[in-house]
């Protein structure tokens, strides 16, 4: 959603960079709530991108965003059933907000526009635009995992969700696993014969193209920004404060899917198992607060503070803090400087659609003396970054061993692993992701068009 002060993140960074290349309109919620019915979109231009943003009523925002989207769809799609809460009232608000989006977006569209809808907040939008008479190609890209039908069936409205997705011309997923999970739902609802060998799906008179479009990063821009960030005061102060200690960095939004509690426990086990590292490594975990109104996040924040405090209290010294745990955001370029300075980048989500921090870490590194990436096998990025140190985030002992292996890895091996990952990032960069999706959407209608993004 195009908030006027967009925080760094996979969806925001990825779509903004893609739009700057293609031009177009980004439509969505502007980050403001009201007690009244939302008015007409606020249209403004920034960095060559036109934004059309609307307000949402506070009560509907709570039910739609904090409720159905993030208390139900987010945990369900990430396989965290214990955190899932269903409410018919929240389901109605989800439908109503998407209808408001459709009503406000429709007058802004031109005959040659393509519409590219992003993420789980807006799954019904394609259907609602069709019901309003829109005939232009509409694509949908899911940034998070898609659950297998045996998981999806827990959702009372699972059939409606699957049918909503069939109103798009192109549906994109991050990984082959997500595509197979989508196929399992289509087969369950419409029969195996609905799925064709060319990744197209026939439902009634509609032909849908479902495929894998792994999102990438702008490698050249990240390398340039990360190198420049090393000369900034904030990054220099951070490096000086290490006093020549090794640095391990994690950058994650505060979310239970990111595996932060398990990661903190693994680091504690690492210090227990390899005591020679005490006083010689600093682990900085940046975790900006997320969805603070959702109870599960408040509970996780408390758990992290307890683990970090226990580790620092047990192993810390007067001149050494083992974990620096920061609940704040930094400018994206500053984060890239932190990543470049790190000897170890740790990305260990319990489940993730892609995770662009893993890719940014690789792109930000000095090729002559690269650090080592520790990456969860349950992140979509693991399918591409196969020469990272791959770990199961639930196995804290194995993660602790990977920390030691990363610190001991000789330079030739680090270069070899980094070179292989960098080649993959260049081949599947941000431009390739956007180009492949837009090409597929254009081919669905045999046209070239302008892009309109709803996200």
Query: Number of structural domains, the chain?
Result: 2
Among 203, 205, 206, 204, residue whose Cα is nearest residue 183: 203
**Same domain assignment for residues 333 and 206:** no
List the domain range (segments joined by +) for residue 93: 10-216+431-454
**Residue 347 belongs to some domain of the structure:** yes
**Same domain assignment for residues 235 and 211:** no
**Residue 4 belongs to some domain of the structure:** no
- Alpha helices per DSSP H over 193-291: 219-229, 233-242, 260-273
Among candidate residues 78, 352, 418, 429, the one labeled active-site is 352
Assess whether 92 carries a catalytic annotation.
no
**Same domain assignment for residues 257 and 140:** no
Buried b (16+ CB within 10 A) or exposed e, 204-239: eeeebbbbbbbbbbbbeebbebbeebbeeeebeebe
Q: Which letter does DSSP use for residue 285 in this model?
A: E
**Same domain assignment for residues 90 and 113:** yes
Q: Which pLDDT does position 4 carry in this prediction? A: 47
Do the beta carbons of residue 322 and residue 287 sit within 8 Å? no
**Residue 3 belongs to some domain of the structure:** no
Q: Determine the Cα–Cα distance for residues 396 and 49; give it in Å rounded to an integer.
A: 44
**Same domain assignment for residues 70 and 118:** yes
**Residue 167 belongs to some domain of the structure:** yes
Among candidate residues 143, 167, 209, 418, the one labeled active-site is 143
**Same domain assignment for residues 209 and 227:** no
**Same domain assignment for residues 184 and 241:** no
Lookup result for tokens 């070179």: 419
**Same domain assignment for residues 65 and 204:** yes
The enclosing domain of 412 has a CATH number of 3.40.50.2000
Q: Which pLDDT does position 145 carry in this prediction? A: 98
**Same domain assignment for residues 86 and 177:** yes
**Same domain assignment for residues 163 and 268:** no
**Residue 258 belongs to some domain of the structure:** yes
**Residue 204 belongs to some domain of the structure:** yes
Cβ contacts of 294 within 8 Å, gap of 6 or more:
66, 70, 71
Q: Determine the Cα–Cα distance for residues 329 and 207; give it in Å rounded to an integer.
A: 43
Q: Determine the Cα–Cα distance for residues 154 and 151; give it in Å rounded to an integer.
A: 6
**Residue 100 belongs to some domain of the structure:** yes
Among 201, 294, 220, 297, residue whose Cα is nearest residue 253: 297
**Same domain assignment for residues 412 and 332:** yes
3-state DSSP assignment of residue 137: coil
Q: Determine the Cα–Cα distance for residues 19 and 26; give it in Å rounded to an integer.
A: 8
Q: Determine the Cα–Cα distance for residues 404 and 393; give it in Å rounded to an integer.
A: 15
**Same domain assignment for residues 177 and 227:** no
Assess whether 293 carries a catalytic annotation.
no
Weakly modelled stretches of the chain, pLDDT under 70? 1-14, 17-18, 21-22, 291-295, 446-454
**Residue 2 belongs to some domain of the structure:** no
Tell whether the torsion through CA atoms of 325, 329, 330 and 336 is positive or negative.
positive
C-alpha neighbours within 13 Å on the C-beta side of residue 245: 22
Q: Which pLDDT does position 83 carry in this prediction? A: 85
Do the beta carbons of residue 212 and residue 173 sit within 8 Å? yes
């Amino acid at each position: 959603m195009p908030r006027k002060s967009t925080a760094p993140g996979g969806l925001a960074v990825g779509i903004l960079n893609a739009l700057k290349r293609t031009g177009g309109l980004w439509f969505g919620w502007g980050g403001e709530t009201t007690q009244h019915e939302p008015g007409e979109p606020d249209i403004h231009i920034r960095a060559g991108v036109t934004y059309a943003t609307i307000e949402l009523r506070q009560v509907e925002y709570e039910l739609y965003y904090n409720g159905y989207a993030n208390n139900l769809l987010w945990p369900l799609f990430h396989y965290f059933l214990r955190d899932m809460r269903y409410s018919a009232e929240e389901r109605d608000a989800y439908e109503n907000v998407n209808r408001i989006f459709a009503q406000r977006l429709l007058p802004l569209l031109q005959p040659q526009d393509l519409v590219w809808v992003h993420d789980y907040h807006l799954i019904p939008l394609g259907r609602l635009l069709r019901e309003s008479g829109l005939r232009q190609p509409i694509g949908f890209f899911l940034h998070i995992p898609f659950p297998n039908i045996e998981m999806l069936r827990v959702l009372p409205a699972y059939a409606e969700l699957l049918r909503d997705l069939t109103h798009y011309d192109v549906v994109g997923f991050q990984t082959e696993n997500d595509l197979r999970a989508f196929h399992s739902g289509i087969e369950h609802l419409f029969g195996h014969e609905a799925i064709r060998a060319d990744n197209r799906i026939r439902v009634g008179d509609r032909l849908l193209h479902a495929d894998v479009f792994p999102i990438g990063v702008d490698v050249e821009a990240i390398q340039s920004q990360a190198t420049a960030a090393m000369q900034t005061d904030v990054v220099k102060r951070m490096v000086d404060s290490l006093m020549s200690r090794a640095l391990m960095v994690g950058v994650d939004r505060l979310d239970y899917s990111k595996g932060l509690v398990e990661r903190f426990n693994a680091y504690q086990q690492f210090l227990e198992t390899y005591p020679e590292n005490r006083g010689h490594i600093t682990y900085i975990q940046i975790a900006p607060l997320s969805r603070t109104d959702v109870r599960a996040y408040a509970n996780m924040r408390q758990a992290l503070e307890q683990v970090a405090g226990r580790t620092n209290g047990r192993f810390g010294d007067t001149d050494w803090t083992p974990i620096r745990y920061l609940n704040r955001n930094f400018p994206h370029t500053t984060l890239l400087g932190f990543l470049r300075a790190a000897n170890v980048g740790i990305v260990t989500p319990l489940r993730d659609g892609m995770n662009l921090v893993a890719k940014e870490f690789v792109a930000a590194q000095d090729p002559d003396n690269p650090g080592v990436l520790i990456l969860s096998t349950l992140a979509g990025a693991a399918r591409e970054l196969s020469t990272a140190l791959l770990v199961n985030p639930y196995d804290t002992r194995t993660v602790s061993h990977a920390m030691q292996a990363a610190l001991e890895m000789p330079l030739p091996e680090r270069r070899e692993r980094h070179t292989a990952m960098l080649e993959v990032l260049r081949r599947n960069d941000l431009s390739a992701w956007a180009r492949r999706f837009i090409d597929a959407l254009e081919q669905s209608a045999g046209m070239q068009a302008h892009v309109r993004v709803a996200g």
